[in-house]
């Protein structure tokens, strides 16, 4: 069928710079660049370009620029270019429009409407270069009270203590499964987590056996609806367990890793036959109530001798505060909330862009509800989706998070340019692909270093901002909305966030 789609990108090549090295031809996984030997020239099939910028970065003479295609339909506020293109795609294929990465729509980003406080005159600021500044974060259920017995002269804690994890920084890598991302990308996350004293999350793809001894103590292992790779050894090798109920990028629907991506090692790790589609159902088929959830939480605790905290991850949906309350009462030690901008390897566009609520509002609502009910100390809150920089982290903590999950930011640190074509398996940066030629593009040593640098840079900035507020420990900021003010927000938004307007 003749396609009615306009090209999305235009590929411009400066002839005065191009030396015909053909690096762009080798690097483009979509076959855009072609060398014509008769004319000794390069030309571009730009209708195939996805805007990943790999060729522009690799070109040794900076001859290439890849831009949005200037072709326009007649201006129409209702029928935007994206709507046109997606409708035409469906008319041509009859299928669901798929996408990758997170929601890119212009919904309000609340981080950009919140500003932080700083000390002036009284309560002086603290210089983190000269004075101690604590980013240590403890993840897990805390006791209601702490009973200390001093009878023998030595303090002895008598209260029952629940398993807690000690992190060097309140930033954790979020769930990205082996299969959705390459082994090198997955291992880079594991190594960076270990080096930085934090955690990575296996997603629903299992934890390769050869990684368990070295990286298990930095791993959050998921128990998702497909139960891929889940057995007692997998659970016991980890630092923390996570029951995945929902995901911000696609609340209410399951996942699908196509059979062609299920190579031998992925198949062994997931405990499924090689080459079969890995389909995870929308619901957990044994959970239809809070009581069922509680049974799974305690089954996991039982299997791991009550030594590991158990998290329950849900998508931020309309009644997320009530759901979180139920999760805590069901026995979870951590509630992970994944908001509207959560990333994914593959999701239907309609779901990604229209289902769920922004994490900032969900986080504030959950923290408030748990405080109002007197159960906030019974869990830690992990906030996920749309964390782009250190100030987003610190604002999330002031809104009530104990720590944040970062996914897209970690991928960008490794090379991702958010072309949103993860689902095609042709990631030009070697991250979201199993193609043996493409995966070699990611150097695991370099990508590990880039991730470690990211966490280190953000952690320094967090210390600076904490010091500026006169706070010397990140724990003291948690849920402290007095350090936030809203700008350009409506009354209902300020109320939901629990923050005052700037100037108040």
Which residues of this protein are in contact with ligand SF4, per CB under 6 A? 9, 11, 13, 18-24, 27-28, 30, 32-33, 42, 49-55, 59-61, 63-64, 66, 428
Nearer to ligand SF4, 211 or 428 (CB): 428
Would you say 50 or 452 has its CB closer to ligand SF4? Answer: 50
Q: How many CB atoms are closer than 10 A to CB 31? A: 11
Q: State the Cα torsion 68-69-72-78 to the nearest 10°.
A: -40
Pick between residue 30 and residue 177 the one whose CB is nearest to ligand SF4: 30
| Distances 322 to 290, 312, 367, 416 between C-alpha atoms, Å | 11, 14, 11, 36
Look at residues 1, 17, 197, 100 and name the one whose alpha carbon lies nearest to residue 429: 100
Q: How far is the CB of 38 from ligand SF4 (least distance, A)?
A: 16
Instruction: Report yes or no: 274 and 262 within 8 Å, Cβ to Cβ.
Output: yes
Report the nearest approach of ligand SF4 to the CB of residue 31 (Å).
8
Residue among 299, 163, 270 at smallest CA distance from 209: 270
- Least distance between ligand SF4 and beta carbon 12 (Å): 10
DSSP character string of 6-66: PPSEEEEE-TTT-----HHHHH-TT--EEEETTTTEEEE-GGG-----HHHHH-TT--EEE
Query: Exposure of 349 by Cβ count < 10 A (0-12 exposed, 13-18 middle, 19+ buried)?
Result: middle
Shortest Å distance, C-beta 5 to ligand SF4: 15
Q: What's the closest the beta carbon of residue 35 comes to ligand SF4, in angstroms?
A: 7
Distance between CA atoms of residues 6 and 72, nearest Å: 9
- Judged by beta carbon, residue 9 or residue 405, the one nearer ligand SF4 is 9
Distances (CA, A) of 269 to 202, 227, 333, 346: 11, 11, 27, 20
Cβ closer to ligand SF4: 23 or 375? 23
Q: Which of 61/120 has CB closer to ligand SF4?
A: 61
450 with 412: CB under 8 angstroms? no
Q: How far is the CB of 435 from ligand SF4 (least distance, A)?
A: 14
CB of 298 to ligand SF4, least distance (A): 48
Q: Which is nearer to ligand SF4, 182 or 196 (by Cβ)?
A: 182
Query: Rounded to the nearest whole angstrom, what is the least distance from the CB of residue 53 to ligand SF4 in the complex?
Result: 5
Q: Which residues contact 228 (CB under 8 A, 6 or more apart)?
A: 204, 205, 206, 270, 271, 272, 278, 280
Nearer to ligand SF4 by Cβ, of 32 and 439: the residue is 32
């Amino acid at each position: 069928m003749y396609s009615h789609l306009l090209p999305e990108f235009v590929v411009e090549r400066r002839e005065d710079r191009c030396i015909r090295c053909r690096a762009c031809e080798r690097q483009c996984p979509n076959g855009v660049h072609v060398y014509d030997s008769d004319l000794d020239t390069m030309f571009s099939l730009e209708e195939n370009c996805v805007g990943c910028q790999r060729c522009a970065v690799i070109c040794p003479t900076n001859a290439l620029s890849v831009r949005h295609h200037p072709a326009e339909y007649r201006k129409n506020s209702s029928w935007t270019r994206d709507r046109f293109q997606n409708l035409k795609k469906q008319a041509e294929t009859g299928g669901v429009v798929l996408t990758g990465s997170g929601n890119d729509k212009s919904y309000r980003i609340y981080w950009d409407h919140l500003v932080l406080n700083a000390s002036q005159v009284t309560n002086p600021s603290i210089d983190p270069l000269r004075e101690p500044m604590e980013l240590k974060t403890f993840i897990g259920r805390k006791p209601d009270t702490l009973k200390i017995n001093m009878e023998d002269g030595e303090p002895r804690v008598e209260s029952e203590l629940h398993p807690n994890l000690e992190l060097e920084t309140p930033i954790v890598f979020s769930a990205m499964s082996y299969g959705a991302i390459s082994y090198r990308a997955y291992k880079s996350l594991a190594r960076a987590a270990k080096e930085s004293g934090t955690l990575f999350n296996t997603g629903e793809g299992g934890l390769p056996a050869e990684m368990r001894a070295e990286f298990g103590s930095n791993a959050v292992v998921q128990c998702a609806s497909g139960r891929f790779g889940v057995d007692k050894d997998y659970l016991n090798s980890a630092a923390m367990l996570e029951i995945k109920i929902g995901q911000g990028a696609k609340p209410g629907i399951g996942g699908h890793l196509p059979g062609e991506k299920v190579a031998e090692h992925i198949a062994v790790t997931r405990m499924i036959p090689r080459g079969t589609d890995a389909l995870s159902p929308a619901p957990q088929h044994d959970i239809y109530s809070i009581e069922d959830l509680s049974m799974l939480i305690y089954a996991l605790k039982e299997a791991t001798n009550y030594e590991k905290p158990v998290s329950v991850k849900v998508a931020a949906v309309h009644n997320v505060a009530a759901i979180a309350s139920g999760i805590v009462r069901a026995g979870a030690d951590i509630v992970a909330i994944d908001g509207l901008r959560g990333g994914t390897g593959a999701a239907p566009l309609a779901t990604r862009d229209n289902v769920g609520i922004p994490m900032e509002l969900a986080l504030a609502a959950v923290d408030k509800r748990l405080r109002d009910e007197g159960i906030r100390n019974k869990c830690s809150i992990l906030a996920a989706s749309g964390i782009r920089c250190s100030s987003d982290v610190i604002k999330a903590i002031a809104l009530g998070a104990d720590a944040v999950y970062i996914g897209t930011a970690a991928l960008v640190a490794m090379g991702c340019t958010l072309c949103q074509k993860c689902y095609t398996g042709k990631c030009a940066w070697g991250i979201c692909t199993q193609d043996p030629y493409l995966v070699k593009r990611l150097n695991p040593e370099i990508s590990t270093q880039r991730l470690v640098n990211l966490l280190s840079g953000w952690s320094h900035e967090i210390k600076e901002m904490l010091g500026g507020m006169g706070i010397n420990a990140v724990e003291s900021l948690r849920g402290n909305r007095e350090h936030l003010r809203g700008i350009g927000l409506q009354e209902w938004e300020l109320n939901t966030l629990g923050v005052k307007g700037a100037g108040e």
